[in-house]
Every structure is written in structure tokens, then in C-alpha cells.
């Protein structure tokens, strides 16, 4: 009974080991990491472009505000000029209107320059955001898939762990401790079959002396693999 329980316990531990490996090695998680690297690179590039856009946007706002102010002033001066009947005042208003018109042209040129400089930056921002959007959507879908897979694997692991605990309690305490020590030391399983003189756990052939020792062991007692330390069964 103990040998059969040990074999079942070893099988369950191998299943649990595979479930842990499957959870840790989900290919979807690898793809998420790849997507996040791409998104970080895009974010850094986007930050650089947006930083380059800031002074140009500031220049555009300043030029636009100045153009608006000068247009209002030109309208005001033009209205006064139209109503002026004094030659000296009219001459002064003409001069001011010329100055305002010239300043307005300069401000409008500054507006145009800022717009021209911002255009490729704005296009680059739109392009980068359009490149990022499908990656963001794919990442969200993958994360949902990962959550579902992890939930399934965790449920299976929980069920197997409960089954394992129930089985382990049927072993003699000293045998269970021996098994658990071997499991902790080598991982995977704490026991393995002896198949054609080889440990099925580490696949190392036992020396003739070790095989003799095993054959001489009393019934119901088992030796350990001298290579990996697993309890040898069968």
C-alpha cells in the first residue's frame, strides 16, 4: 500500500510541477512582455516629439495672440482714419496703420512658421498613437486570456493539491518526511521507479553494489537513488 501511495504521490507532484511550469511559461505572457517593450519605445519616442512640439506650440499661441491684437488695432486705427478730417491727424494715423500692418504681417509669418514646423510633429504624433492603439488592444485581450488560463490552472492545482494532501496523510509520518525531504532536494517528485537498473527520476544507472543493496533490503523498505536521492520503487 505504501509503495502504491508513494507512486501516486510522485505522479501528483509531477502533475503539480507541470501545472506550475505551464502557469509560469504561458506564451501569452511572453507576447505581453514583447508588446510592452514596443509600447515603452513608442512612449519614449512620443515624449521626445511632444517635447519638441511644446516651444513651437507656445510660439504659435504667442503669434496668434499678437496677430489678433494687431488686427483689432488695425481695425480701430482704420476706423479713426476714415472719420478723421484733420490732415496732421490723418497722416499720423496713416503712419500708425502702416506700422501695425507691417507688424501684423510679421506676426502672421511667425504663425505660419510655427504651423509649418508643427505639422510634421503632429503627423508623427498621430502615427505613433495609431501604431500604439492596436498593441494596447492586443495587450488587453492577452491579459484577459492570461487571467482565464491562470484561473483554470490554479483551479486544477488546488484540486490536485487537496488530492495530494489526502494521499500524503495515508503514509507513515517518517516515510512522508523522507519523501518530502527528497522532493525538496530534487524537485519534481520525491520517489521514482527503478527501471532496468536505472532511476526513472534522474535516469542514472545504479552501480552493481547499489543494486545488490536494494535486493537485500527487507520487503516494504526502499533504498534511495545514490545520484538524486529519490526513493526507489518497484
What pLDDT, in 10s, does the model give residues 158-189?
A: 999 999 999 999 999 999 999 999 999 999 99
Q: How many domains does the chain have?
A: 2
pLDDT at residue 114, rounded to an integer: 94
Q: In terms of domains, do 133 and 52 share one?
A: yes
The answer to whether residue 200 sits within a structural domain is yes
Contact present, 100 and 74 (Cβ < 8 Å): yes
The answer to whether residue 149 sits within a structural domain is yes
Q: Which domain holds residue 229?
A: 173-233
Provide the whole-model pTM: 0.70
| pLDDT beneath 70, residues of the chain | 1
- Among 154, 188, 220, residue at a domain's last position: 154
pLDDT at residue 1, rounded to an integer: 55
DSSP reduced 3-state for 221: coil
**Chain-centre distance of CA 130, in angstroms?**
19
d(CA 55, CA 211): 82
pLDDT at residue 213, rounded to an integer: 87
Q: In terms of domains, do 31 and 140 share one?
A: yes
Contact present, 185 and 179 (Cβ < 8 Å): no
Helix axes 87-168, 2-24, angle to 10 degrees: 170
Rounded to 5 degrees, φ, ψ at 194 are: -100, 115
pLDDT at residue 97, rounded to an integer: 87
pLDDT at residue 80, rounded to an integer: 87
In angstroms, what CA-CA distances link 194 with 23, 27, 31, 110, 230? 30, 35, 41, 87, 10
Amino acid at each position: 500500500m505504501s509503495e502504491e501511495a508513494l507512486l501516486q504521490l510522485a505522479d501528483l507532484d509531477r502533475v503539480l510541477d507541470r501545472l506550475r511550469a505551464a502557469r509560469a511559461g504561458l506564451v501569452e505572457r511572453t507576447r505581453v512582455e514583447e508588446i510592452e517593450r514596443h509600447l515603452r519605445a513608442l512612449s519614449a519616442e512620443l515624449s521626445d516629439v511632444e517635447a519638441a512640439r511644446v516651444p513651437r506650440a507656445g510660439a504659435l499661441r504667442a503669434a496668434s495672440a499678437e496677430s489678433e491684437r494687431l488686427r483689432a488695432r488695425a481695425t480701430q486705427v482704420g476706423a479713426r482714419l476714415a472719420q478723421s478730417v484733420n490732415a496732421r491727424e490723418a497722416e499720423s494715423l496713416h503712419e500708425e496703420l502702416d506700422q501695425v500692418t507691417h507688424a501684423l504681417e510679421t506676426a502672421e509669418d511667425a504663425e505660419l512658421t510655427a504651423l509649418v514646423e508643427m505639422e510634421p510633429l503632429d503627423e508623427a504624433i498621430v502615427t505613433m498613437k495609431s501604431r500604439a492603439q492596436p498593441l494596447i488592444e492586443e495587450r488587453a485581450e492577452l491579459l484577459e486570456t492570461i487571467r482565464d488560463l491562470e484561473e483554470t490552472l490554479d483551479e486544477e492545482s488546488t484540486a490536485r493539491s487537496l488530492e495530494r494532501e489526502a494521499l500524503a496523510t495515508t503514509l507513515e509520518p517518517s516515510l512522508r518526511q523522507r519523501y518530502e525531504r527528497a522532493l525538496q532536494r530534487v524537485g519534481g517528485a520525491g520517489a521514482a521507479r527503478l527501471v532496468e537498473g536505472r532511476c526513472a527520476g534522474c535516469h542514472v544507472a545504479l552501480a552493481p553494489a547499489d543494486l545488490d543493496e536494494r535486493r537485500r533490503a527487507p520487503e516494504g523498505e526502499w533504498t534511495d537513488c545514490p545520484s538524486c536521492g529519490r526513493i526507489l520503487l518497484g
